[in-house]
A = this chain, B = another copy of it.
Amino acid sequence: MSETETRKRTRSGGGAARRAARGSARIETARFIERNIPNFEILSEEALEMIEAGAETVLAEIGVNFVNNPGALALWKEAGAEIEGERVRIPRGLARQLCGHAPARITQHARNPARSVEIGGRSLVLAPVYGPPFVHDAEKGRRYGTIEDFRNFVKLGQMSRWLHHSGGTLCEPTDVPVNKRHLDMLHAHMTLSDKPFMGSVTEPSRAQDSVDMCGILFGEEFVQRNTVMTSLININSPLTFDDTMMGALEVYARNNQACIVSPFIVGGAMAPVSVAGTLTQVLAEGMAGIAYAQLVRKGAPVIFGAFVTSIDMNSGAPTFGTPEASQISYGVGQLARRLKLPYRSAGAFCGSKLPDAQAAYESANSLNMGLQAGVNFMLHACGWLEGGLVASYEKFVMDADQLGALHKFAQGVTVDATTQALDAIREVGPGGHYLGCAHTQENFKTAFWRSELFDYKPFETWAEEGGRDTMQLATARVKALLESYEQPPMDPAVSEALGDFVARRKAAMPDAFL
């Protein structure tokens, strides 16, 4: 955001932004991670070139389908692709060239300017779980999600120190008609949180509603000139771009809003069973989708996405936090960086039915990978359970706590005279201890990351306090966070206009539940 735009926006948005900025001081939220560590590069130059050449072969010889979308076919034809029915064969080099128009870094604005995020380069933006029809907590068990659950998750996200983004479909509010859910969900993100959020993608008209509501929240002119939403456009792998998702992408691209263009891969089902084959297909798909966004509007902000899981060949179930998914995500990171595009992957993925040890091993595998793979936007960074079928209250706060460790690790290691502490080593000497020395006293407060959830007490104290496991500690934390939640302030005129918009749009449509 330029200086001018900040001023303009503050003028037009009234006191809301200023009040929000003041209010936000209560929860010290990290804005986003700026990595000071190297990326882990799993593929050699030779391997990368072979994958890139293979992806061009896929696009040129096999091609991709744009389903039910004559407009897309026309754009592709004009750009020089060969069209046969719905199949689009893209000449070698064309998709990559078109990807070159996309910006390498996106500023996604929040209504509270202190919460705006940078997506790209060395940044990492963390957003919560997206899409589950079910929710789970220790008390009430597994059940369909409701708008009340949805609002609770928005509140938990707003309260989470290490979460930078309010996300999108935190859970499906199944008690609201399908065709009206997006209105209630957006309203919740806009009013209960002051962090950035995602738009609806389930219909082009819902994407347009998202843009219109942002016009009320940010001002219409501001929206046209700045990115205020990042929305999730899945590719129907293999190699298929359906009209619903592309319709939403078209709305967002035309309105200068960011899309995550994401092959959705269960390896062995939607892509080859091998890592190299999956990488080749993912690159072809990602480039085709991003190139199309550039055909819709040159310079449209996009993020190269990769949602990748492996499959349990015994049962056919998708598996999470596995080594092959990590290898693919590391590889796509390298490929995305060579395209100079922001990268989305990873998340607190797990297949477990409970927020137990399986869930935590699998999630930690994927969270660590995401940080080291150079991911710029991590959806599902907290709350994901049971292969994404369930949004878990307890796991939301467990994962969100672990995100703090990523922040600390990403700072890297500063080696200078102060941190090397030769004077402290001299002061303490052989056989001494550092607890009381000056260097420790000066630095201990910020020296070590500590969990706000885990139990660090001695066994006896822990046992006296009930011997609670992590799930029980998390149940208590969920309760405490929701009880202490405070709604971020908003200009009453904006609040009223948003409410009016939702009411008007709802009244204009009959309820639909399919």
Interface residues, chain A, with chain B CB atoms under 8 Å away:
37-38, 40-43, 46-47, 50-51, 54, 57-58, 61-65, 87, 142, 236, 238-240, 267-277, 279-281, 310-317, 319, 321-324, 326-327, 331, 351-365, 368-369, 372, 386, 389, 398, 402, 405-406, 408-409, 412-416, 418-422, 424-426, 428-435, 439-440, 443-445, 447-451, 453-459, 462-463, 467, 469-471, 474
Contact = CB atoms under 8 A, between A and B. Distances in A.
A361 B449 CA distance: 15
Given A324-B408, A357-B470, A368-B364, A415 B64 contact: no
A247 to B, nearest CB: 18
A238 B413 contact: no
Contact of A280 (B43, B54, B420, B434): B420
How many copies make up the complex? 2
A365 B433 CA distance: 28
Nearest to A64: B430
Contact of A40 (B40, B422, B447, B449): B40
Most B CB atoms within 10 A — which of A43, A51, A280, A358? Answer: A358
A413 B327 contact: yes
Given A50-B416, A361-B364, 18 more contacts: A43-B413, A62-B429, A65-B430, A267-B448, A270-B433, A272-B434, A274-B421, A276-B416, A276-B419, A310-B449, A317-B457, A322-B448, A323-B449, A327-B413, A352-B470, A356-B469, A360-B360, A368-B369
A310 B448 contact: yes
Contacts of A362: 454
A13 B51 CA distance: 52
Given A425-B58, A426-B61, A462-B353, A435 B269 contact: yes
A65 B269 CA distance: 62
Given A54-B420, A409-B326, A447-B273, A360 B364 contact: yes
7 tightest A-B CB contacts, nearest first: A277-B421, A364-B364, A360-B360, A323-B409, A239-B430, A276-B419, A357-B470
Contacts of A471: 356-357
B356 A456 contact: no
Given A331-B413, A445-B313, A448-B322, A454 B352 contact: yes
Nearest to A463: B353
A455 B268 contact: no
Given A277-B419, A457-B315, A372 B268 contact: no
Given A413-B42, A420-B54, A470-B358, A87 B454 contact: no
Given A238-B430, A238-B431, A312 B456 contact: yes
Contacts of A270: 433-434
A361 B372 CA distance: 17
A447 B268 contact: yes
A53 to B, nearest CB: 9
Contacts of A449: 310, 322-324
7 contacts: A64-B430, A274-B447, A312-B456, A313-B447, A314-B456, A364-B364, A365-B405
A363 B310 CA distance: 22
Contacts of A439: 272-274, 277
Nearest to A330: B413
A260 to B, nearest CB: 21
Contact of A440 (B272, B363, B368): B272
A353 B473 CA distance: 13
Given A448-B312, A454-B352, A272 B323 contact: no
Contacts of A281: 425
A272 B421 contact: yes
A60 to B, nearest CB: 12
B434 A327 contact: no
A42 B363 CA distance: 23
A280 B356 CA distance: 38
Nearest to A242: B431
A280 B354 contact: no
A158 B90 CA distance: 55
Contacts of A315: 456-457
B351 A454 contact: yes
Contacts of A280: 420-422, 425
A142 B454 contact: no
Contacts of A389: 459
Contacts of A405: 321-323, 365
A440 to B, nearest CB: 5
A62 B415 contact: no
Nearest to A331: B413
